[in-house]
């Protein structure tokens, strides 16, 4: 058993060691690949996002503080996620989180509206329920003084409406508490299920608060009906009873303000959420384009396997072109036609890359590499062969010259020998 526990510990430690941190994921995107454009930067994600039984870093790339796209990197492997279904859900969740936090920030800075999913507003509704209990006491006093059946009916109706209002406020308080919990879970441990959970919890709170305002309106109507009856009843204490009925309407206007804030929040969030789906489509398309960019960059500017195999040099296509076009060598290559062709193709490859036409850039790069390898294989011209006939006459001429020189230098000796 101890041995099994030790093995389990090793497995746990190995899993922890293999986990990819957010900084490692960012380095993979920024330094180990070439997905980003020069003006873009990465933002470090706070929490990984869960999808099914795995978690992922969803890393935003921004330009001038605007999100351009997201990169999805599994926390267990330093690679770019290739699964379109999970990537779409994860990117949508990351953008939803961004829109949600932006909405909360906007409302926190607003003087006209408040972010009502808070403990303060939850406690406010609990406090209003206590105020409603005091109003019930005032209605009981009125009911005691009114002797007519119609008056008692109106008091009973007002009390029922007040009870509905109390229950609605208690329900709204609970709905805000559940929305708060959903928000906390989303921010601390987000998953691809969180957006729907947040929307359901928040909409339930908004609907509940709207229902509370409706209950308040119904209660006010019932109390006003009671006041109207008292004013026409000729009751000796009619004025005092009407005053007590007005006391029963002292529920603060904060319920209406709460409802107004709820509707403003719902409208703002609905607008924000509607953009998530559209943006997600754009982000998914851009991820594919950036993968093309990285592959094309590698073809142009990173060491090329085929070039290494055929030349023995660990160099990139860019360096290979540069060495062929070097002014100390360019005029001496045998295949000058391909020298010119490869330069044209290389210029077009780089131009297409800058214009983000990566498929065309790759085609020109392949054409450049074929030309460059042909130039390299053909090499430089061989030295011309020497003609043997020319060598023979040259040797003969040299011999005659040597003999003539000898005779001239020794002419006196030769003359003396001939004339003793």
Q: What percent of the chain has pLDDT over 70?
A: 86
| Res 55 pLDDT > 80 | yes
Residue 94's contacts (CB-CB under 8 Å, 6 or more residues apart) are 45, 49, 58, 60, 70
What's the average model confidence in pLDDT over 332-361?
96
Instruction: Identify which has the larger pLDDT, 155 or 92.
Output: 92
Q: pLDDT band for position 7 (50/70/90)?
A: very low
What's the average model confidence in pLDDT over 329-335?
93
Domain assignments of the chain as residue spans, ordered by start:
119-252, 302-378, 388-415
What's the average model confidence in pLDDT over 130-156?
83
Residue 325's contacts (CB-CB under 8 Å, 6 or more residues apart) are 339, 343
Mean pLDDT comparison of 137-151, 172-186, 224-238, 244-258, highest-scoring range = 172-186
Instruction: Tell me the whole-structure pTM to 2 decimals.
Output: 0.77
| Res 146 pLDDT > 70 | yes
Q: pLDDT band for position 33 (50/70/90)?
A: very high
What's the average model confidence in pLDDT over 34-60?
95
The CATH code belonging to domain 119-252 is 1.20.58
| Res 382 pLDDT > 70 | no
What average pLDDT does the structure give for the chain?
Answer: 86
Q: What pLDDT is stored for residue 408 in this prediction? A: 58
184-232 pLDDT tens trace: 999 999 999 999 999 999 999 999 999 999 998 998 898 889 888 888 8
Q: What pLDDT is stored for residue 132 in this prediction? A: 77
| Res 374 pLDDT > 80 | yes
273-325 pLDDT tens trace: 888 988 998 999 999 999 999 999 999 999 999 999 999 999 999 999 999 99
Q: What pLDDT is stored for residue 394 in this prediction? A: 44
Q: What pLDDT is stored for residue 351 in this prediction? A: 97
240-262 pLDDT tens trace: 878 877 776 776 677 888 999 99
Q: What percent of the chain has pLDDT over 90?
A: 61
Handedness of CA 233, 236, 239, 244 (dihedral sign): negative
Q: What pLDDT is stored for residue 262 in this prediction? A: 93
Q: What angle is formed at CA 360 by the lines to CA 359 and CA 366, rounded to 5 degrees?
A: 95
């Amino acid at each position: 058993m101890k041995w099994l526990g030790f093995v389990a510990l090793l497995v746990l430690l190995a899993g922890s060691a293999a986990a990819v941190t957010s900084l490692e994921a960012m380095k993979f995107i920024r330094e180990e690949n070439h997905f980003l454009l020069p003006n873009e930067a990465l933002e470090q994600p706070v929490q990984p996002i869960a999808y099914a039984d795995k978690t992922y870093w969803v890393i935003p790339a921004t330009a001038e503080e605007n999100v351009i796209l997201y990169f999805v990197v599994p926390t267990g492997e330093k690679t770019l996620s290739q699964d379109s279904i999970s990537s779409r859900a994860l990117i949508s969740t990351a953008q939803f989180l961004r829109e949600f936090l932006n909405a909360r920030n906007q409302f926190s800075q607003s003087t006209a509206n408040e972010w009502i999913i808070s403990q303060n507003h939850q406690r406010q509704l609990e406090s209003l329920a206590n105020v409603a209990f005091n109003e019930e006491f005032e209605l009981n006093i009125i009911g005691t003084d009114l002797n007519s059946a119609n008056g008692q009916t109106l008091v009973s109706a007002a009390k029922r409406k007040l009870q509905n209002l109390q229950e609605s406020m208690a329900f709204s308080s609970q709905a805000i508490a559940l929305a708060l919990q959903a928000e906390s879970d989303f921010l601390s441990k987000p998953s691809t299920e969180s957006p729907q959970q947040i929307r359901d919890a928040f909409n339930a709170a908004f609907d509940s608060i709207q229902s509370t305002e409706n209950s308040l309106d119904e209660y006010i109507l019932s109390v006003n009906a009671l006041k109207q009856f008292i004013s026409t009843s000729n009751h000796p204490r009619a004025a005092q009873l009407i005053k007590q009925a007005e006391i029963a309407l002292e529920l603060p206007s904060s319920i209406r303000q709460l409802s107004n804030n709820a509707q403003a929040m719902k409208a703002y969030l609905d607008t924000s959420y509607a953009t998530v789906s559209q943006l997600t489509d754009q982000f998914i398309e851009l991820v594919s384009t950036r993968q093309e960019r990285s592959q094309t960059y590698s073809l142009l500017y990173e060491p090329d396997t085929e070039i290494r195999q055929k030349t023995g040099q660990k160099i990139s296509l860019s360096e290979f072109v540069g060495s062929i076009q070097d002014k100390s060598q360019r005029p001496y290559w045998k295949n000058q036609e391909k020298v010119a062709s490869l330069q044209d193709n290389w210029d077009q490859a780089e131009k297409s890359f800058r214009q983000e036409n990566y498929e065309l850039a790759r085609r020109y790069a392949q054409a450049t590499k074929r030309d460059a390898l042909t130039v390299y294989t053909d090499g430089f011209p061989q030295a011309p062969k020497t003609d043997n006939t020319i060598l023979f006459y040259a040797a003969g001429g040299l011999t005659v010259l040597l003999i003539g020189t000898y005779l001239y230098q020794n002419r006196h000796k030769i003359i003396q020998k001939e004339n003793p």
